[in-house]
Amino acid sequence: MNFTQGFRDSALAQKLLENIRRKSKTPANIMEFCGGHTVAIFRYGLRELLPPHLKLLSGPGCPVCVTASADLDKVMALAAVPGVVITTFGDLIKVPASYSSLDRARAAGADVRTVYSTLDALDIARQNPDKKVVFVGIGFETTAPTIAAAILQAAAEKLSNFSVLSLHKVTPPVTKVLLDAGEVKLQGIICPGHVSAIIGADAWEFIPERYGIACAVSGFEPLDVLQCVNLIVEQIEAGTPKVETAYSRAVKAEGNPIALKMLDTVFEPSAANWRGIGEIPGSGLKIRSEYAAYDADKLFDIKLDKPSREPAGCLCGEVIRAVKTPEDCKLFRKVCTPENPVGPCMVSSEGSCAAYYHFAEVID
Ligand code: SF4
Ligand code: SF4
Determine what percent of the chain falls in helix, strand and coil, rounding each to the nearest 5: 45, 20, 35
Distance from Cα 95 to the centre of ligand 2, integer Å:
12
Give the ligand 1 atom nearest the CA of 63: 5
Query: 192 in ligand 1 pocket by Cβ < 6 Å?
Result: yes
Nearest CA to ligand 1 atom 2: 194
Give the ligand 2 atom nearest the CA of 324: 5
Helix (H/G/I), strand (E/B), else coil: 360 = helix
Query: 219 in ligand 1 pocket by Cβ < 6 Å?
Result: no
Query: 350 in ligand 1 pocket by Cβ < 6 Å?
Result: yes
Nearest CA to ligand 2 atom 1: 332
Distance from Cα 251 to the centre of ligand 1, integer Å:
13
Query: 36 in ligand 1 pocket by Cβ < 6 Å?
Result: yes
**Residue 359 pLDDT:** 85
Q: Against a cut of 0.85, is the pTM above it?
A: yes
**Residue 363 pLDDT:** 46
Which of 65, 95, 337, 345 best tests ligand 2's pocket when mutated (most atoms within 8 Å of CB)?
345
Which residues, at least 6 apart from 343, have a Cβ–Cβ distance to it below 8 Å?
Answer: 96, 310, 311, 314, 315, 316, 336, 353
Which of 101, 318, 329 best tests ligand 2's pocket when mutated (most atoms within 8 Å of CB)?
329
pLDDT (tens, 9 = 90+) of the chain, 364 residues, equals 466 667 778 889 999 999 999 999 999 999 999 989 999 999 999 999 999 999 999 988 899 999 999 999 999 999 999 999 999 998 899 999 999 999 999 999 999 999 999 999 999 999 999 999 999 999 999 999 999 999 999 999 999 999 999 999 999 999 999 999 999 999 999 999 999 999 999 999 999 999 999 999 999 999 999 999 999 999 999 999 999 999 999 999 999 999 999 999 999 999 999 999 999 999 999 999 999 999 999 999 898 989 999 999 999 999 999 999 999 999 999 999 999 999 999 998 889 999 999 986 544 4
Distance from Cα 125 to the centre of ligand 1, integer Å:
28
The strand pairing partners of 340, in sequence order, are none
DSSP structure class, residue 300: S
Distance CA 290, CA 266 (A): 8
Distance from Cα 329 to the centre of ligand 2, integer Å:
6
Instruction: Tell me the torsion sign for CA atoms 99, 102, 104, 108.
Output: positive
Distance CA 208, CA 173 (A): 15
Ligand nearest to the CA of 353: 2
Give the ligand 1 atom nearest the CA of 195: 1
Q: Where are the alpha helices (DSSP H) in the chain?
A: 10-23, 35-43, 46-49, 69-79, 102-107, 118-127, 144-157, 171-181, 193-199, 206-211, 222-238, 257-266, 296-299, 316-320, 344-347, 352-355, 361-363
Q: How far is CA 247 from CA 39, 131, 226, in A?
A: 17, 43, 11
Which residues, at least 6 apart from 79, have a Cβ–Cβ distance to it below 8 Å?
Answer: 86, 102, 105, 106, 110, 111, 112
CA-based radius of gyration for the chain:
21
Give the ligand 2 atom nearest the CA of 318: 5
Distance from Cα 141 to the centre of ligand 1, integer Å:
9
Which among 99, 77, 140 is positioned nearest to 297, based on CA atoms?
Answer: 77
Report whether 364 contacts 337 (CB < 8 A).
no
Which of 321, 346, 352, 361 best tests ligand 2's pocket when mutated (most atoms within 8 Å of CB)?
346
Residues with CB under 6 A from ligand 2: 314-316, 319, 326, 329, 331-332, 336, 342-343, 345-346, 353
Ligand nearest to the CA of 334: 2
Distance CA 359, CA 337 (A): 13
